[in-house]
Structure 1
Amino acid sequence: MTDVNEVQDTRVVVRPRKVSIAAWVGATAVLVLFVVVAVVLRSSDTGVRFRAADQVSLVILGVLIAAGLLLLARPRVIADAEGIEVRNVLFNRRFPWALVRRVAFPDGASWARLDLPDDEYIAMLAIQAVDGARAVDAIRKVRALHAASKGA
């Protein structure tokens, strides 16, 4: 469910809820698994000699995979009276409301999007369909800010 962390007079902050939980659980499980495997490899007789460097490498690999999974918990949307900032997995982008044609959540889509001029759009991974009612609440608040900026 989408976590609408802040709602002030003219500010809305949205983060995905279910995907964030799944990312943290998955990252923790992967890290624990890699650490356990690294410890067990040294003490079990597999016919191959595993050294301390191999164990450290496995733990580092587990950390890297866990960090990659945690990137899924990174998306965020911050909307205020001036515009909207969209942070997806890797990049942040800020758009003034004058540039945004529509805040859309197409039927069957997994997440909301901003429709921009010249048939371009930006996905808002923070507002996801799997979050149900929280996503509906978030999209309504973002649309209200967009409509208020067009009316001003």
Structure 2
Amino acid sequence: MTARPRKVRFVSAVFAVVFVAVFSVVAVLLRNTPTGVYFQLSDQIAMVGIGVLLACGALWLTRPRVSADAEGVTVRNLLGSTRYPWSVVQSVSFPDGAAWARLELPDDEYVPIMAVQSIDGERAVTAIRELRKLHRAQWHPESHPE
């Protein structure tokens, strides 16, 4: 089972295209300003570069992903990826009002699952059900014969 955010991916892609387009247009028009300032080719290249950097930042929000199998779950958020065996996961929850799901770990710790977001609606519900099914199969193998 693998899940990725859907709406955030679409919005991020649109913003990335807009950033590159706007900064490219500004770069082209930069030389023809009546401000009295003399812009060089390097200034134009820098403007396009800023647009590309902002686009990369927007696309970075598409990075989250969660993958699960019978042995455990791998959570990839913005800064890193970690694999958790089902034996250390106490539950998979989606608290009321939360933006994304989370794995409950021992000692009141939790790991956010940014790939399962509330704005994705039914896709998020399906992903949570799949994660809970895999978790339940690990904790109660007699109820899920193979």
TM-score (norm 1): 0.90
1:66 equivalent in structure 2: 55
Where does residue 97 of structure 1 map in the other structure?
86
Match of 2:33? 44
Deviations 1:84-128 (A, max 9, x none): 000011210110000100000011111000000110100000000
Question: What is the aligned partner in structure 1 of residue 135 from structure 2?
Answer: 146
Alignment-mate amino acid for residue 22 of structure 1 = V
Q: Which amino acid aligns with 2:90?
A: R
Give runs of ≥4 in structure 1 deviating > 2 Å: 43-46
Q: Secondary structure at the match of 1:73?
A: coil
2 CA distance for matches of 1:126 and 1:132?
12
Percent identical across equivalent pairs? 53
Q: What 5-or-longer segments of structure 2 have no aligned partner?
A: 142-146
Shift in Å, 1:61: 1.1
Alignment of 1:1-152 (within 5 A): 12-152=1-141
TM-score scaled by structure 2?
A: 0.94
Deviation (angstroms), 1:42 = 1.2
Bigger RCO (CA 8 Å, 6+ sep): 1
Deviation at 1:67, TM superposition (A): 0.3
* Partner secondary structure for residue 113 of structure 1: strand
Unaligned runs of 5+ in 1: 1-11
Larger radius of gyration between Structure 1 and Structure 2: 2
The aligned length equals 141
Please state how far the C-alpha of 1:144 moved relative to its aligned partner: 0.2
